[in-house]
A = this chain, B = another copy of it.
């Protein structure tokens, strides 16, 4: 079928004009601070009538504000709110990738770092390809059930009560609570309490029959951002045996990674 000119090698889509202009306007507002509509028209080249419509839309969404005294326009803090947490995801993934590699070289067993995304634990970094005892290669992007995996339980156990409630609400809203999960939900707080007393989360034969895992949460400062696991053959040892040998190096690895993340996000 016929294709039309693309803006990027391989992409068939044109840029959406109104959206592009909206961001041109926001960038101009960022450059200029408080600016009159006529000034914005001169600076961006966008017709004044179009600007009035764009400004109205961005006002309704809360990203721009107009000063009553002279009609000047400025960005609001909502842009910053939108960006909250952005930097940290990238830094965390980068730091954890390196940290997991080191851990796996030390222990042989592979590890994954996952964050809660769209009601699932999504693997963001993984050391399986560095482990001599793993057959998995591409795990990044794969998901684990929040309520039944070691990764999910470790993460949930690091949330405050309020954040735990909100997280479960989001999961219900977007439909990631499975039938197996429904059996677990009534007891989730007790299971998390048991996990606190034990000192780690675990699962047995969840994703694959012969694979078990233990996991600990990861924080940025005091804020939980995800969890790290160690996966091992069920036949090789029990979770308790895994914990007795691997928990200490896992915890130490996480502490060093958390410090590195904190250093980088405050630069």
Residue numbers of A with Cβ under 8 A of B are 7-8, 11, 13-16, 18-20, 22-23, 26-27, 30-36, 39, 42-43, 52-54, 56-61, 63, 67, 69-70, 72, 74-77, 79-80, 82-87, 89-90, 115-118, 122, 124, 138, 140-141, 170, 174-175
- Cβ contact within 8 Å between B82 and A30: yes
- Report the copy number of this chain in the oligomer: 2
B124 touching A54, Cβ below 8 Å: no
Complex Cα gap A209–B201 (Å) = 78
Question: Nearest chain-B residue to A24 (Cβ)?
Answer: B61
Closest residue on chain B to residue A32 by CB atoms:
B118
In the complex the two chains form, is B19's CB within 8 Å of A58's CB?
yes
A140 with B70: in contact, given A79-B82, A86-B79, A87-B80 (CB under 8 Å)?
A: yes
Q: List 16 other contacts, CB 8 Å, given A16-B22, A23-B63.
A: A13-B57, A15-B56, A16-B57, A20-B57, A33-B85, A34-B117, A34-B124, A35-B117, A67-B141, A69-B140, A70-B141, A75-B82, A75-B86, A77-B86, A80-B80, A80-B87
Closest residue to A122 on the B side, CB-wise? B34
B30 touches A61 (CB 8 A): no
* Contact among B76, B117, B170 for A86, CB-based, below 8 A: B76
For the complex, what is the distance from the CA of A84 to the CA of B83, rounded to whole Å?
A: 11
- Asked whether, in the complex, the Cβ of A42 is within 8 Å of the Cβ of B174, the reply is yes
A69 nearest CB across to chain B (Å): 5
Say yes or no: A174-B39 contact (C-beta < 8 A), given A56-B13, A86-B75.
yes
